[in-house]
Structure 1
Amino acid sequence: MSDTVPVPVSDAVPVRGFTAGPASETVPDPATVSGPGSIAGPDTVADAVVTVVGIGADGWEGLSPAARRELHAAEVLMGSVRQLALVPESAAERVAWPSPLLPALPALIASHRGRRICVLASGDPMFHGIGTTLVRLLGADRVRVLPHPSAVSLACARLGWAVDQVEVVSLVTRPAESLHTAIHAGRRVLILSADGRTPARVAELLTTRGYGGSPMTVLERLGGTEERVISGTASGWFLSAAHDLNVVAVECRADAGTVPLPCLPGLPDEAFEHDGQLTKSEVRAVTLSRLAPVPGELLWDVGAGAGSIGIEWMRAHPANRAVAVENHPERAVRIARNASQLGVPGLKVVTGAAPAALTGLERPDAVFVGGGVTAAGMVEACWEALRPGGRLVANAVTIESETVLASRYGELGGDLIRLAVGRAAPVGGFTGWRPMMPVTIWTAVKPFPRTPGSDDA
């Protein structure tokens, strides 16, 4: 059971002038809604005070006395059609979520200004739920949250799993491929499902990845009177569709010969589809150490080739973001495929020639230039866009591109290294070293602006 399960199309209803459609109990994860004011609305929305009550499949019977009092006192009760049906009729005006919810939410809250608003949420409202969105919109001091046990807590209780030792992946608003980064032999994973078809998608993904022997358990309608548990293995999964309210538990077991794909930088070159334009594994590991991924930061991967740097940057932490800029359309398509297969389908791919293609992109925390160093204005544009404290890393394999990096090193400082890697290869009946092309790596950190009164001491 997901804490944020989409409502069937038939449940969507018109709400006070908003267009009805396939409403969802969830809104985009706050991590995917970037920038201040992303869900800003009328100024009057800031005056609203909202109480959010978590409710489970057990409905009214499972609510605490405090939660029941809030619902009794509410003048306006908001939630999905399914959630509203779990609460007995009262004097409160009932407002079912419109679709799409996110753009309508500010005006919806503002339209009930001065009234006692109570919002229903599945499980814990602050765990992939509407509570986090309301806090972003109104501020923490304008939102009161009364949580219910989350689907994760209930599932772990049924399975006897330690909550702190389980990785949770929400597929409610994300593609199934997002699961790839959590799949490691011996690990336990709980997946919040988008709908009843999610378990079958998970089973197919695990089997294709080489984890077909992994035990899978689907827990439906947790906490409700019709709770059901279905078990099997990924490769032998037999259920095409479960109930929409479900959570999937996986114990990852690798099949014989499955190559592990760790989240540390330096994945095998074979993990990427490419046409030769690929930052090789050893160089990639060093390059990423210079880029220094920090959770939540944004990278520009300029001249991305196969997209390996941007992909590994995002694999380093779920909150990391990256934009891959590639001039060749066929490579751009390949980058998207690589990102999906390696668990970061959220990688943004921009097709176009840099530096012109960089115009309008969100300001980065780090920039990697892997191709096009010699293009006029390339390094200057990347340096200008970089945030203070951000890292610019550029690689060169030709004399011409080395000359550019040497010039920039002389102008801006930083660090300049040359990396030479040799790989063992057959030489007749013996083994010898086959050298790769040496790579020059320039790293520079953009200084913070000088403040008045600072000195050189």
Structure 2
Amino acid sequence: MADSPARPWLTIVGIGEDGWDGLGAPARAAIDAAELVMGPARHLALLGEHRARMLQWPVPFADGIPLLLAERGRRVVVLASGDPFWFGAGRSLAQELGRAEWVACPTLSTFSLAAARLGWAVQDMACVPLHAAPVTRLRPDLAPGRRMVALLRDGAAVSEVAAYLRDQGFGASTLHLLEALGGPRERVRVVRADSPMPDDIAHPVAIGIDCAGEGRVLSCASGIADEWFDHDGQISKRPVRALTLSALAPRPGELLWDIGAGSGSIGIEWLLAHPANRVVALEGDPVRATRIKVNATALGVDRIDVLTGRAPDLLPHGVPDAVFIGGGLSEALLEALWARLPVGRRLVANAVTLESEALLGRWHAAKGGHLLRIDLAQAAPIGLRRGWRASYPLVQWSVTL
């Protein structure tokens, strides 16, 4: 006879502002049987008195993981906000445990409660966690008529959001201040982003943003305007960037190595293509490496890792889905990548100099793929008239290994 599966020792319980009253039967049963209940002080207070040992989860969150694992085998409950697997603690806990060790009892998330109060459809609004992230995460969704619900760390963060919206040209946005949703302290207030903010906003707080104004809006297509990026001239210009992103063909959840990243424009647009995408940028100039992080944060995609160094002496760990070479192209780099990358990975390299162009020509002849020459010219004044001002021609090699 096969062994029966082990009973999960950990129950992850989502708890709302109504505390014990809002818990379902499975969550109540798990708490009744628990030997230990862990959670933030606010959540433990919502639960009230209990015969189990209570342990406050420390800050930072990672410090609580060893404390939890030391209790393996006991009957343990971890309290989390609302739905633990929607920008909550659930994923972090599940990654540390086997699937048979835990079970989850979610309740309504703040996003669901906010939608119910505001009459917004959850599938049509952006759900943005700002409790542990910069306010610039809002940037990709800032557009007139767009609706967002953001989770904030405290009441003071509301003023930060309002100031950011004003600075971006969206001061006319309507802000719905959502305090302690689902509990006896619940309060919903409405203000404009360009108005004074209340000074008595209570935690926990979320904010519904009905975006309005004349600020700049990010395009959804690849090849956004060069003006979005701070740079020193080392940048793939908009038309070339659009062609390069098309050749790289980002797909959901993929990892890009951006080698010789310059301003980071290629990697940043890779991240803008899908929220699950990842980038490791490699840049030899420390000033440019710092600028990449600044550009990424400003455009709301701060999930970029930047390494300072030159390839092939330094290459990131792991295996990417695609590689872009925007600078530092060499025979040694191509050989190192060809030895490192598995079959099916994509590589795109851009060359401007005659030497780099010749190198790509040889590798195209040996390995196949597509070789593209890009000649661009822009209209420019010539005296009282206009003519074409040509840029340096660029050769692009794209190949799937």
Q: What is the TM-score normalised by the length of structure 1?
A: 0.82
- The residue type equivalent to 1:170 in the other structure is P
Letter aligned with residue 410 of structure 1: A
In structure 2, the residue matched to 1:100 is 60
Rounded Cα–Cα distance in structure 2 between residues aligned with 1:387 and 1:264: 29
Work out the CA distance in 2 between the residues paired with 1:110 and 1:225: 34
Q: Deviation at 1:125? A: 1.3
**2-structure distance, mates of 1:407, 1:243:** 65
Q: Does 1:199 align with 2:158?
A: yes
Is 1:429 the counterpart of 2:389 in the alignment? no
Alignment of 1:146-157 (within 5 A): 146-157=105-116
- 1:343-398 deviation per Cα after TM superposition (whole angstroms, max 9, x unaligned): 1122222222222122x533221111111113x51222233333432111000111
3-state SS in 1 of match to 2:150: strand
| Aligned partner of 2:344 among 389, 393, 400 | 389
Worse-superposed segment, 282-291 or 92-101:
92-101
Structure 1 ranges of 4+ moved more than 6 A = none
Match of 2:216 among 244, 259, 265: 259
Amino acid at match of 2:50: S
Give yes or no for the alignment of 1:189 onto 2:148: yes
Residues 91-117 of structure 1: per-residue CA shift (max 9 Å, x gap): 212122133332541x33333233222
Match of 1:211 in 2: 170
Q: Which residue of 2 aligns with 1:329?
A: 286
Matching residue's letter, 1:389:
G
Mean CA deviation greater in 143-152 or 176-185: 176-185
CA apart distance, 1:222: 0.6
Which shows bigger deviation, 64-73 or 303-312?
64-73
Q: 2 CA distance for matches of 1:139 and 1:296?
A: 23
Alignment of 1:15-30 (within 5 A): none
Q: How far apart are the structure 1 equivalents of 2:373 and 2:366?
A: 19
1:365 to 321, 326, 338: 321
Partner of 1:69: 29
Shift, 1:432, TM fit: 3.0
2:120 to 137, 161, 165: 161
Tell me if the contact between 1:47 and 1:113 (Cα under 8 Å) persists in the aligned partners: no
Deviations 1:403-426, CA, capped at 9 Å, x for gaps: 111111122211111112222233
Q: Gaps (5+ residues) in structure 1?
A: 1-45, 447-457
The 3-state SS of whatever aligns with 2:154 is coil
Cα separation, partners in 2 of 1:373 and 1:125, compared to 1, 3 Å: same
Does residue 122 of structure 1 match 2:78?
Answer: no
Question: What is the Cα deviation at residue 322 of structure 1?
Answer: 1.0
Alignment-derived partner of residue 112 in structure 1: 71
SS at the partner of 2:397? strand
User: 1:181-221: CA deviations, max 9, x gaps?
Assistant: 22222211111112222211211221222212111111011
Separation in 1, partners of 2:135, 2:200: 15
262-271 or 422-431: bigger deviation: 422-431
Judged with a 3 Å threshold, the aligned counterparts in structure 2 of structure 1 residues 411 and 426 are, in CA distance, closer, same or farther, namely same
The CA distance in 1 between the partners of 2:239 and 2:359, in whole Å, is 23
Contact 1:203/1:237, CA 8 A, preserved across alignment: no
Q: What 5-or-longer segments of structure 2 have no aligned partner?
A: 1-5
Give the Cα separation in 1 of the matches to 2:60 and 2:362.
52
Which residues of 2 match residues 296-311 of structure 1 at below 5 A?
296-311=253-268
Q: Give SS of 1:85's match.
A: helix
Q: Could you tell me which amino acid in structure 2 is paired with residue 298 of structure 1?
A: L
The question of whether the paired residues in 2 share the 8 Å contact of 1:55 and 1:121 is answered with yes
Equivalence for 1:291: 248
Q: How many equivalent pairs are there?
A: 396
Identical-pair percentage: 46
CA distance in 1, matches of 2:59, 2:281: 32
